[in-house]
Structure 1
Amino acid sequence: MSSPKKPRAARARLLPLLALLGCSTPRPVPDSPQASPAPAPPAASQEPAMKKPALDAAALKADLVAKHGEAQRARIERGVDQVLAQWREEDGDAAEFIREQFLSDPKALDATFARLERVFEQLDGHMNELGRELQWYTDLDLGPLLPVEPLLASYDPSTNVTSDLFRAKVGFVVLLNFPLTTLSERVEQGPKWTRRQWAEVRLASRFNRRVPAEVEQESSRAIAAANLYIAEYNIWMHHLVDSEGKRPFPKGLRLISHWNLRDELKGDYTDPNGPAKQKLILQVMDRIVTQTIPAAVIDNPRLDWNPFTNAVTVAPAETVEEDAPAREVKPDAAPEPDTRYANLLAVFQAARKADPYSPVAPTRIARSFELMREIPEERVKALLTQVLESPVVPRVAKEIEARVGRKLGPQDLWYPGFKPGSKRPETELDALTRKRYPTAEAFAKDLPRILQGLGFTREKATWLAAHIQVDASRGAGHAQQAMRRGDFPHLRTRVEKGGMNYKGYNIAVHEFGHNVEQVFSLYEVDHTLLAGVPNSAFTEALAFVFQARDLELLGLGKPDAAAERERVLNDFWQTWEISGVALVDMAVWHWMYAHPDAKPAELRDAVVGISRDVWNRYYAPVLGGEGSTLLGVYSHMISYPLYLPDYPLGHLIAFQIEEHLKRKGPLGAEFERMASQGSVTPDQWMIHATGAPVSADALLHATEAALDKH
C-alpha cells in the first residue's frame, strides 16, 4: 500500500498525509448502507465575515473594456469577478491593482505564464524537499525517535505559501488573467482544450480558496500526529497466545496494523496451522477497531496477550527477542483509551476549520471528490455499489469455497488463492526475498533489472533507476514524489533485520510503480503545471500494474491462460473487498459532519456501527460473521483523510489498463505513454490511455467470462 499522493498544483509539499483541496458541493453518501442526504455544514463552519472592498465592479469592467477592447470583455469580466471574490479590505486598492495587472497583450500573457510555471515548480519542489527532510526520521527506520522528531514532522513550512502569495498579490495576478473552472466545465470542455489551456486551468486552481496559514498548519500537525501513531502501531506476534498458552507465530515477527496483519493472514492459507493463526489475527483486528486492545501490548515484545480473553501477562524471559526494545513490563490490561478515534477526530476538526474559506466546497468531503478526484461522490458510490451488488459475487465465492473445502468465513475477505504465488508457503517467498534483498540498497541496485523485466529498454531502465531513491521505511511503506526536475522520488519500504521479507518486497514493487509514474509525469510532461496524474486512484492503478508482476520478477514464471483467468478473479475479489471499506470511510466522514462535537468514544461507536452495517449488507450473505467490524480496521481511515475510495477506483482503472496492455503492449512503452499525459480529468486521461472512460464494466464482464471458462 502506498501513502496518498498530493493533489496537483495545490501540493505545496508532500506529507503522505497532506490535507487535500477541492471544490463544488457535497453529494449524498450512506451513513449506513441506506442512502441519506449529506448534512449541511454546521453553523460553526459557515463563511466568516470578511471585509470586502467598496468598489463599483461594473464601472471597473466597463473602463477596462474601453481600454483593452471588446475582444477582451469575457476575460475582463471573469478576471475581475475572480479577484474580487478573494480580495479583502486590507489588500488595498483593488481597482488600481486590476488596472495595472490585467494583461491583454498576448506576448505579455505568455511571458507571465512561463515565468509563473517555472517559479512554482521551484517553489513547490523545494518546499516538498524541506518537508521530506523534516519527516526524515519519523518516516525512516533509523532507530528510536528523539522527542523532537514528531514536532519537526508536524511542522509544514509550506502552509504560509498560498497566504503569502495572496499578500504579495501574485495570487491575484493569476486570478485576474487565468480561468478558474468548475468540474462540469473541465469534464465537458476539457477534451477540446489545448495543453496550454489545461496548464492555465491548473495554474488558476492553486488560488481557488484562501485558507489562513494557521488553519493549514493545524491540519498538517493533526495529520502528522495521526501518521506517527499509525506508523508505530505494531503487534509482536510471537507474544500472542491462545487459550492453551501456545504461540502460533514465530519469534521476532512484528506486524504493523493493518497492512502486515492483513498480509500475514493472507500468507497463512498455506500454513497447516493457518486457521488458528487467522482466528487470532481477526480477533486482534476486532480489538483494534473496538478499542478493547490493551494499550500496554501495542508495540511491546515484553508482554504476552491472549486476544480472546484479553489477559496480559509478563512474557517469559526465554520468549523475549534478544534485541527487543525497552518497554513497560507491567501486565496492564487497560484498553487503549480511544486513541485511534481521538486522532481521527483531530484530523476532522482541523479539516473543518478550512470549510469557511471554501464557500463552493463547504466540506472536506466535497473538496476530496470534486477537486482532488474530479469524480463526483455520487458517481464513485455508484461504481462501488455496482461491484458490491454484482451477481458474479456469489459465483466467485462459490469457487473459493470449493478451493478451501469449507464454508467461507470473514477471513476470506482477503482470500489470496487466485494469485499464482499463493500456492507457495510464504516462508519460501520470505527466504527468497531476504536472500536477494538483505538491505534497501540491494533492492535499489536491482531496479534496472526489474524494469527490464517489466518491458522497459535497457536505456530507459537505467535512466529511471537513476531518478529513484530507495529508503528503509519505519512504517509499512510509501512512495514520496518529487515536485521539481532535479529532485527524485523516494521509494520507502520496510526492511527487517533479517532482510526484506515477501510482504516488504510486495509493497516495494507497488511503491516502485508509483515512483516510475512520478518520474514520467514530472520529467516527460510538457507543462510542469500538469505534472502528475488525474488523482490518487490513477497512481494507485499504475502501481497495481507493477505489483501484479512481483512473482514474475522473482523468476517464478510468466502467466499463461490459466494464470490470466486467476488474475481476473483475483482483481475482482480485491476490488470487492476494498469497495466496502471505502463506503465505510465515506460514511464515517458524513457522520462526523453530522456530529461535529462528538467525543472519541462516540466516534468509536459510530465507526463500529457503520462497519457492521456495511458488512451485514454486502459481506455477511457471502462470508458470514454477522456484525463483523473488519471493514473498520484500515489505518488509512485514521491518518489519510478520505483516501480509501482511491483503492477500488485504482483497481478498476488498473484492470482497464491491463486489458489495454493485453491488446497493445509492451508494458514499458505503454506505461510511459500513459504516465506522461499529466493531470487532465479522469475520463479524458482514460480515453487517451485505453480508449474508454473510467468504468466497472470491463472488470465485471471479464470476471463473468472467466467464471464461464471454468
Structure 2
Amino acid sequence: MSSPKPRFFSAVRSWPLLLALGCATPARPPVIAPEESRAMKPAFDLAAVKAGLVAKHGEASRARIERGVDQVALQWRAEDGDLSVFVSEQFVSDARVLDATFARLERLFEQLDGHMLELGRETQWYTDLDLGPLLPVEPLVAAYDPSSHVTEDLFRAKVAFVVLLNFPLTTLSERTEKGPTWTRRQWAEARLAGRFSMRVPADIAQESSREVAAANLYIAEYNVWMHHLLDERGERLFPKGLRLISHWNLRDELKADYADPRGREKQRMIVQVMERIITQTIPAAVIDNPRLDWNPYTNVVTVAPADTVEADAPSKEAKADATREQDVRYARLLAIFQAARRADPFVPVAPTRIARAFELGRELPEERVKALLAQVLESPLVPRVAKEIETRLGRKLEPQDVWYAGFKPGAQRPESELDALTRKRYPSAEAFAQDLPRILRGMGFSAQKADWLAAHIRVDASRGAGHAQQAMRRGDFPRLRTRVEKEGMSYKGYNIAVHELGHNVEQAFSLYGVDHTLLTGVPNNAFTEALAFVFQARDLELLGLGKPDAASERERVLGDFWQTWERSGIAMVDMGVWHWLYAHPEATAAELREAVVSISRDVWARYFAPVLGGEGTTLLAIYSHMISYPLYLPDYPLGHLIAFQIEEHLSRKGPLGAEFERMATYGSVTPDVWMTHATGAPVSAEPLLRATEAALKGKP
C-alpha cells in the first residue's frame, strides 16, 4: 500500500539527503548565482598546500591529504578565508585523534538530525494529523523548514570542511565496486562525508520545502464524497458518508468492489472520477464537498438534496458550479520542478533532480531501474496471468483490472464485512496502538521484542491517507499515521496502518539496532517499502483470516506479479514526466497537463492496452506521489521486487521476526550490499519471474 511520505522520508539516511533529492531547504545569506559563485572561488596553489601538509604529517598521509584537500577546494569560496591555513590546522593524521573526531561528529549529527526532524514534525503537526479544521496560519507553519540553514551553516562554521578534509567523499561507482569489502566504519565514514557533497544556497532549499509542503497539503485534502456521485440514471452507488482521498482510497475502493454485486458499475465510475482528476476536467467545486452532487460522466453538478447531506458534513458552499479545476494539480508539480531546477547548478555530481533521485537517493542508476521494470512490463508472463484473471472474472478485462485484487486471500469478502471487523476492533488510533504487541507477536516477533517495538512506536490519526515518519535520534520514536474515520478505522485504514507499521518496525530497528547511527535507515525508500509490504501481505492473517497454505502462496505470487506490473507502469510515467519537464523547462501548467496525459497514454498503449484494452486511458497518472513526491514512484515496483526476494528468503529461514530484525539493523549501505547480506543475492527481478512461472504451472 502506498503512503505519502512526510518531509523526512522514512528511508532517507538523514535530512541533508533531502536536499540531494531536490526536496530540502536552504541558508540565511543572499543567493549567489552559480556563475558568481564560481567566480568567487579563490585561487590557491593546491600542490603547494598538499606538499606542505605532507611535509608536516609524513608520506604515509599523502593519499588522504591529496583527496581531502581536493574535496575541500571543490566547495571552498572566497568568503571562507584562507584554505591553506584551515587545512594546516584541521588535517588529522593521528589515528586516535581521528577516531575521536569521528565519534564526536557521529554523536553530533545524530542529535542534530534527530532534533531537526522533530522540529519539522512539529511544524507539520496540524497539517499531517486529523485534529480538526486548519487555522489560516497552518499552511505557512507547515512550509517552514527549521533545518533549512543547517547545511550552509555547517559550511560557514567550517565543520563541513573538517569532514571533507579528513574523510573520503565517495562516488556511486566506488561504493558499488569497493563497498562489499568495506568495514562498517568505512561505510559510516562514506555516509558522513556524503552529507557535504553539495552546497546549495539555503533559500533555494527552503523554496523546495515550501513547494513540497504546499503540494502535500493539496493532496491531503483531495477527497471525493462518493455518495454524491450520480450515474446516468441519477442513482447513488456508494453509501452515505464514504469520503475517499485520491488516489489511495479511490484505488482501494475499486479493489474492494470486486466482491460487490454491483462492483463493475462502481469501478467504472471510479475510473471516470480518476480520469477527470488527471485531465483536470473535474469541477473544482465538488472536491471535498458533500453538499454538491456530481455526475462524473456528464460532468453535471447540482446542489445535493438536504436529506442526502451527511449530518456532520463540513461547511462548504452549495453552489452548482461546474467550472473545472484550473490545472492546480500540475501547477503544484511545476512549482516543485522549478525549485529543484534552481538547485541543479549547485550539485555538479548530480546536476538534475532525476540524477539526484537515482544516483544519490536510490544509489541505483536510472538505466538499471528501467531495465528491471522493463523485465516485468515486457514479460511473456503478463498475458498468461491476465488470462487467469479473465477466467476468474468470466469477462474480458477492462482498464480497472490493472488493480485486480482477487489474488489476495479473503479478497472475495465484502468490504463492509471487513470494515465492520476493523471498526469494532479499532474505534480509534489509540486502540490500534494498544493492539500493537499482539499484532507484532502475530508477525513472528517474540513477546519481549514485540513489547519493545510497541513501546518505541507512536500512533496518530492522519489527516491524509497515512504515512510512517522515522525518528533520527535515539530517544525519539517513529510515528505511525493512518486515517481513522468517526465510525472507527475502516479496512482501508487498517490495511494502510499495517503497511506503515512495517515501516515503523524497520525504522525502530535501523535506528536503535544499527552499530553506527550514521548508517541509520535502509539503502533507499524501495527497501523500506519492501519491508512494509512484508507486513501488509499479512494484514488479513493478523485479523484471524486467510491462514497461509500452498494455495494461498500461489495466490500471493500471482498477486505480487500483477501489482509489480501495474506499479512498473506508474513508475515509467513518473520518470517520463520528469524527462519531459527538463526538455521543456519553461512549460506552463496546461502544457504539463497535456504532456502527462500523453505520456500516460503512451505507456498504457505500449504495455497495458494489449491485455486490458482501454485505448487512450490516462489511469497510470493518478498516483498522488507524482504531484507531492515526484520521482518517488519507482520505489514501489522496486519495493515489490525486493520484498519478493525477502519473502523468498523468509520462506527458507525463520522465524520471521528474527530475520526481519537481522535485515533491518544492517543500515544504509548500497542496495546490492544490503540485499546480499539479507538474502544472499543482489537486487533482481528473476525470483519474482521464476516464482510466477511456477505458479502458473500450478506449483506453489
TM-score by length of 1: 0.95
1:597 aligned counterpart, secondary structure = coil
Q: Is the 8 A contact 1:387 1:575 kept in 2?
A: yes
**Do structure 1's residue 335 and structure 2's residue 339 form an aligned pair?**
no
Q: Does 1:517 align with 2:506?
A: yes
Residues 139, 50 of structure 1: alpha-carbon distance in 2 compared, 3 angstrom cutoff: farther
Deviation at residue 567 of structure 1 after TM alignment:
0.3
Out of 97, 104, 107, which is 2:93 matched to? 104
Task: Measure the CA separation in 1 of the matches of 2:641 and 2:653.
Answer: 18
Q: Distance in 1 between matches of 2:49 and 2:161?
A: 16
Q: Which one-letter code corresponds to 2:430 in the other structure?
A: E
- Separation in 2, partners of 1:531, 1:328: 48
2:15 is aligned to 11
Q: Which amino acid aligns with 1:637?
A: M
Alignment equivalent of 1:124, drawn from 92, 113, 118: 113
Residue 48 (structure 1) shift: 5.3
Q: Which 4+ runs in 1 deviate beyond 6 A?
A: 44-47
> 1:455 matched to which residue of 2?
444
Task: Measure the CA separation in 1 of the matches of 2:210 and 2:50.
Answer: 43
Matched, 1:2 2:6: no
Give the drift of 1:7: 5.8
Q: Which amino acid aligns with 2:412?
A: K
CA distance in 2, matches of 1:213, 1:103: 29
Q: What amino acid does structure 1 have at the position aligned with 2:15?
A: R
Q: Deviations over 1:241-286 (max 9, x none)?
A: 0111100000000000000000000000111111111111000000
Q: Hey, what does 1:25 align to over in structure 2?
A: none
Contact residue 211 and residue 336 of structure 2 kept, 8 A: yes
Taking the aligned partners of 1:482 and 1:471, their CA distance within structure 2 comes to: 15
* Equivalence map 1:310-709=2 (5 Å): 310-709=299-698
CA contact (8 A) 1:13 1:158 kept: no
Distance of 1:416 and 1:45 partners within structure 2? 50
CA distance in 1, matches of 2:442, 2:177: 40
Match of residue 54 from structure 2? 65
Structure 1 pair 125/18, CA: closer, same or farther in 2 (3 Å)? farther
Task: After TM superposition, give the deviation of residue 14 of structure 1 in Å.
Answer: 8.6
Q: Deviations over 1:112-156 (max 9, x none)?
A: 000000010000000000001110000000110000000000000
User: C-alpha offsets along residues 484-517 of structure 1, whole Å, 9 cap, x if unaligned?
Assistant: 0000000000000000000000000000000000
Which one-letter code corresponds to 2:697 in the other structure?
D
1:240 aligned partner, one-letter code: L
Q: Find the residue that maps to 1:160 and give its secondary structure.
A: helix
CA distance in 1, matches of 2:36, 2:157: 23
Alpha-carbon distance, 1:8 to partner = 4.2
Alpha-carbon distance in structure 1 between the residues aligned to 2:367 and 2:549: 38
Deviation at 1:49, TM superposition (A): 3.4
Total equivalences in the alignment: 687
Q: Which residue of 2 aligns with 1:152?
A: 141
Contact between 2:145 and 2:209, CA under 8 Å: does it hold in 1? Answer: yes
Q: What whole-Å deviation, never above 9, does each CA across 1:615-652 have from its counterpart, x for those lacking one? A: 00000000000011000010000001210000000000
CA drift of 1:54 comes to: 2.0
Structural RMSD (CA)? 1.4
Cα contact 1:14–1:480 (8 A) shared by 2: no
Change (3 A) 1:177 1:256: same
Q: Which runs of 5+ in 2 are unaligned?
A: 26-32
Pair 701,366 (structure 1): closer, same or farther in 2 beyond 3 Å: same
User: 1:284 & 1:8 partners in 2: Cα distance?
Assistant: 34
Determine the C-alpha separation between the residues in 2 that align with 1:565 and 1:499: 33
Which structure 2 residues correspond to residues 281-320 of structure 1 after superposition, within 5 A?
Answer: 281-320=270-309
Q: Give the match's secondary structure for 2:422.
A: helix
Q: Which amino acid aligns with 1:424?
A: R
Deviations 1:394-417 (A, max 9, x none): 000000000000000001000000
| Mapped partners of 1:625, 1:47: distance in 2 | 52
Q: CA deviation at 1:46?
A: 7.8
Deviation at 1:357, TM superposition (A): 0.4
Deviation at 1:666, TM superposition (A): 1.1
CA deviations over 1:305-349 (Å, ceiling 9, x no partner): 000000000000000000000101110000000000000000100
CA–CA distance in structure 2, aligned partners of residues 18 and 272 of structure 1: 46
Q: More displaced, 45-54 or 82-91?
A: 45-54
Q: Which residue in 1 is equivalent to 2:254? A: 265
Shift of 1:50: 3.9
Match of 2:237 in 1: 248
The alignment's TM-score, normalised by the length of structure 2, stands at: 0.97
- Percent of pairs with identical residues: 78
Contact 2:22 2:343 in 1 (8 A): no
Task: Give 2:137's aligned amino acid.
Answer: V
Q: Equivalences for 1:160-239 in 2 at 5 Å?
A: 160-239=149-228
CA apart distance, 1:593: 0.6
SS at match of 1:207: coil
Q: Tell whether the 8 Å contact from 1:13 to 1:124 is kept in structure 2 after alignment.
A: no
Q: Answer yes or no: is the 8 Å Cα contact 1:178–1:204 preserved in 2.
A: yes
Q: What is the letter of the counterpart of residue 87 of structure 2?
A: I
1:86 to 59, 75, 78: 75
State the shift of 1:2 in Å. 2.5
- CA distance in structure 2 between the aligned counterparts of 1:297 and 1:505, rounded to whole angstroms: 27
> Structure 1: any 5+ residue segments left out of the alignment?
22-43
Deviation at 1:440, TM superposition (A): 0.3
Deviations 1:515-552 (A, max 9, x none): 00000000000000000000000000000000000000
Contact 1:10 1:205 in 2 (8 A): no
Distance 1:339 1:54 in 2: 48
